[in-house]
Amino acid sequence: MKIGVLGGGSWGIALTIHLKRAGHEPRLWVYDPSQAANLAEKRQNHTLLPGAVIEPDVLVTHQLEQVLNGVDGVLVVVPSHAVRETALKISSLVLKSTWVVCATKGLEEKTHLRMSEVLKKNLKNASSIAALSGPSHAEEVVKRMPTTVVAASDDSALATTVQSVFHSDYFRVYTSTDLTGVELGGALKNVIAIAAGVTDGMGLGDNAKAALMTRGLHEMTRLGVALGAQRETFAGLAGMGDLIVTCTSRHSRNRLLGEKLGKGSDLKAALAEMVMVAEGVKTASSALALAKQAKVEVPIITEVNRILFEGVSAKAAMRALLSRSAKTEKDFEG
């Protein structure tokens, strides 16, 4: 298949390489003209994904028309804050016969919409959207390390199409019709990963981190169900699976951000030291807003917001979590 990949970050590069290996014809669009020219010439980005080489016959360009002309499908891998702008740019170029899948994990900051909702509102010809999510660091995918993800869509036929396109001997794809749950799992786990990183930065040990991850999954599930997701989705790859890898991996930018905050850096200083986007920062405020609308208690997400945006210290936030009233573990109220 001819597939337009929109987004030249590490995940966009990794999926372009993967699609080429799988026998498809990917074409990569890079937002910045100079970065596009550099990547087209050198075929790799030493800063974002060192050692990952794009094949010479893969088109890399800043020209959207070249990337989307005659494609069978479109893969959106731009940062969450750029999804709306990108959708508006490509709306007239996407045909009704073209499938669209989003591999961006996040919530739109002002509207709190999921990425598929943003795309549906701005792609006039897209009748249904799929999401690709799960524990999948770009650094490992390009090395052909075993990876499993979920292709989710309200349209089961589209989920199956995406599965067949991306599935390979090292990249296993499952399907789901719980698009809401899969997208929320991929977005909310980034907020919990910031909190996990804070425990690393504070040197609180494995007990604290394990507890935070477990109760964080509880929060993700509670909020997701309130927003229309299926509870079992959060026990799967897009929930627990992605949460584990994002909270524990050295590749996780959200965990790294949290670690810097746990060591005493403020948000501005921590972000200035990072090369790639930590989606959990923008997602945190949206997640809290959705929780308030749904009247769902989310103590960990609340404390992450206080650290990020209110100047509350990591120590004070942890104290607030530990001083909460005692509950039964099965209590679905937090």
| Catalytic center residues | 189
CA distances from 36 to 11, 29, 52, 301, 333 (A): 15, 7, 16, 36, 48
**What are the structure tokens assigned to 10, written together?**
């590490």
**What are the structure tokens assigned to 68, written together?**
């989307």
Of 109, 106, 131, 102, which Cα lies nearest the Cα of 233?
A: 131
- 3-state secondary structure at position 237: helix
Of 160, 197, 164, which Cα lies nearest the Cα of 177?
A: 160
Question: How many angstroms separate the CA atoms of 250 and 237, rounded?
Answer: 19
> Where are the extended beta strands (E) located within the chain?
2-6, 25-29, 59-61, 73-76, 99-102, 129-133, 147-153, 171-176
Question: How many angstroms separate the CA atoms of 174 and 163, rounded?
Answer: 7
